[in-house]
Amino acid sequence: VPVFLFVAAPYIRRYVAGGRCKSTARLEGKVVVITGANTGIGKETARDLAQRGKVIIACRDIAKAEAAASEIRAETGNQQVIVKKLDLADTKSIREFAERFLAEEKELHILINNAGVMLCPYSKTVDGFEMHLGVNHLGHFLLTFLLLERLKQSAPARIVNVSSLAHHGGRMRFHDLQGEKSYNRGLAYCHSKLANVLFTRELARRLQGNCVTANALHPGSVSSELVRHSFVMTWLWKIFSFFLKTPCEGAQTSIYCAVAEELESVTGQYFSDCQPAYVSPRGRDDETAKKLWSVSCELLGIQWD
């Protein structure tokens, strides 16, 4: 068995690595915003896109984000890697970020809603939303709403939502959206990832004819800090790291959705390994998508028609 594993190892690694973004598209004169890009796949997405154009890293932890940005600047020679404060667990912070961004940047061509939390013990955001729903869905929903006009003005533009295969295990429990009646942190994560898929679907429908596309993706099972809230998952991730994607491999589909020329007019789709992937029946339910949209607007106190 050890000999077999030794021989098979490169092939297993190649299989685990999955698809790669082969596009060499440049982004000169274009502006990219990536949330949560101070670590993991977000940082690797920023690293790649910084070789192509201007990248704004939007993060809660400014010190960590500045360290990531200076590393990327040094490596790519691109000084246009900028850090801005954004806490997706606080709608005030999201509004302040958007206000500053709109005052300082006249264009926005690519918005990558990458940041996320996973397996958190029950907790709430500043505004009282359950943490997974609040950060993974509502935070990005509000951010996209606030930046949408700038995306439309800069068209052709793209919105990329990082979801997960975990959306297959999710359902929209409108009777208990905040998990106050029953809470399971694994399921809460799944529900929020389904929300990402449904949001993408309805957003794409509403943006038809605007030259702004919206697509979602599954990055793969990636060795990252996302499992930090679970001792068991952290332990398993260490043991099976050989069978997990590196953050660089996990970033490939995000990069693909952001720059691939062949996706210029593709919208409302879900990708994995740089190709279209299967969406769960719940993720294809237009009525649920519309209901989630109106409930999200209600919770955030916004009107988005």
For the segment 285-296, what is each residue's pLDDT rounded down to a tens digit? 999 999 999 999
Choice among 11, 15, 183, 189 that is catalytic: 189
SS (H, E, C) 179-201: CCCCCCHHHHHHHHHHHHHHHHH
189 in active site: yes
Residue 273 gets the label, from left (phi > 0), alpha (psi -120 to 50) or beta, of left
For the segment 241-256, what is each residue's pLDDT rounded down to a tens digit? 656 888 999 999 999 9
> What are the structural domains of the chain?
25-219+253-300 (3.40.50.720)
Tabulate helix, strand, coil % of the chain (nearest 5): 50, 15, 30
For the segment 85-135, what is each residue's pLDDT rounded down to a tens digit? 999 999 999 999 999 999 999 999 999 999 999 999 999 999 999 999 999
Q: In whole angstroms, give the CA distance from residue 301 to residue 305.
A: 13
Tell me the C-alpha to C-alpha distance, in Å, between residue 32 and each of 50, 152, 157, 239, 285.
Answer: 9, 14, 10, 35, 30
pLDDT value at position 246? Answer: 86
What's the pTM value of the predicted model, to 2 decimals? Answer: 0.92
